Structure 1
Amino acid sequence: MKKVILIASVIIALSNLPIFNFFLQEDFRYQNFDGSFLYKEEPGKGKSFIGCIRSYGHFLCEHPERDRGDNRLYRTFTIKPWRFWQWSEMLFSERYRLPYKQPGN
Structure 2
Amino acid sequence: MKRKVLILILSIVIVSNLPFFTFFLQEDFTYSNADGTFTYSEEGGKGKSFEGCQRLYGYFLCQHPLKDQGDNELYRTFTIKPWRFWEWGEMIFHNERFKLPYKDSGK
TM-score, structure 2 normalization: 0.92
Match of 1:101 in 2: 103
The structure 1 segments of at least 4 consecutive aligned residues displaced by more than 4 Å after TM superposition are none
| Unaligned stretches of 5+ residues in structure 1 | none
Q: CA RMSD in A?
A: 1.3
Shift, 1:45, TM fit: 2.6
Aligned length: 105
d(CA) in 2 for partners of 1:84, 1:10: 12
**What is the aligned-residue identity percentage?**
64
- The reply to whether residue 81 of structure 1 matches residue 82 of structure 2 is yes
TM-score, structure 1 normalization: 0.93
Match of 1:71 in 2: 72
| Unaligned stretches of 5+ residues in structure 2 | none
d(CA) in 1 for partners of 2:61, 2:75: 14
